[in-house]
């Protein structure tokens, strides 16, 4: 220990654990006399600081609790707003889907009607072509029958001419043989 106010370290040098109990008690008394008032003030200040610290911490806890409650309320409001927005968007999308479905149904009906009209038109055209081809076949059949009849008449005529010619040749052969 360094020297202070007339005390020397020699008084406690010969004793193994520091000052003796009598000296320690005297020392405490002297300290109490010298620093007692200052210690009490320090303790009062520490007590006041402790009280103010506890009050400050209590107020900080209250402010923190209020801030957490406000934040929780704002979070709940935000979640509610998001839920409402999602419901509104879902309702709007459902309406849009119904509108698209209605448009598609109308368009489908139009396309089915156009398809039926096209089928009817194609059937009518096919029937008309079929009738035209039948008429052409009847005309060809009639022309072929007339041509066949003309050829048959011509062949009959040629056959008749040959039969006459053969008769003439027989008559000539008979005349030559008799004469």
Residue-wise pLDDT for 40-60, tens only, equals 888 888 899 889 989 999 999
How many structural domains compose the chain? 1
Residue 21's pLDDT band (cuts 50, 70, 90): low
Residue 2 has a pLDDT of 43
Q: Is residue 13 part of a domain?
A: no
Domain of residue 142: give its range: 22-173
Q: CB–CB of 52/44 below 8 Å?
A: no
Asked if the structure places residue 12 within a domain, the reply is no
Residue 153 in this model has a pLDDT that exceeds 70: yes
Answer yes or no: are the C-beta atoms of 3 and 9 closer than 8 Å: yes
Residues 6+ apart with CB under 8 A from 19: 11, 12, 27
- Mind listing the pLDDT tens digit for each residue in 69-85? 999 999 999 999 999 99
Please give the structure tokens belonging to residue 33: 């006399």
Q: State the pLDDT at residue 38.
A: 78
Contact 9, 20 (CB under 8 A): no
17 φ, ψ to 5°? Answer: -110, 15
**38 domain-assigned:** yes
Whether residue 100 lies inside any domain: the answer is: yes
Does residue 2 sit within a domain?
A: no
Q: What Rg do the C-alpha atoms of the chain give, in angstroms? A: 69
């Amino acid at each position: 220990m360094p020297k202070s106010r007339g005390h020397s370290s020699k008084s406690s040098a010969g004793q193994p654990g520091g000052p003796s109990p009598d000296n320690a008690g005297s020392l405490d008394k002297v300290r109490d006399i010298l620093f007692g008032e200052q210690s009490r003030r320090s303790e009062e200040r520490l007590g006041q600081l402790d009280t103010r610290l506890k009050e400050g911490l209590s107020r900080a806890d209250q402010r923190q609790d209020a801030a957490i409650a406000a934040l929780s309320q704002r979070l709940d409001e935000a979640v509610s707003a998001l839920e409402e927005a999602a419901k509104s968007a879902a309702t709007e999308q459902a309406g849009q889907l119904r509108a698209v479905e209605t448009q598609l149904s109308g368009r489908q009906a139009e396309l089915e009607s156009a398809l039926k009209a096209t089928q009817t038109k194609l059937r009518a055209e096919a029937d008309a072509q079929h009738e035209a081809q039948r008429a052409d076949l009847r005309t060809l059949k009639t022309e072929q029958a007339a041509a066949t009849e003309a050829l048959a008449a011509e062949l009959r005529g040629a056959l008749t001419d040959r039969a006459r010619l053969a008769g003439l040749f027989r008559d000539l052969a008979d005349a030559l043989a008799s004469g």
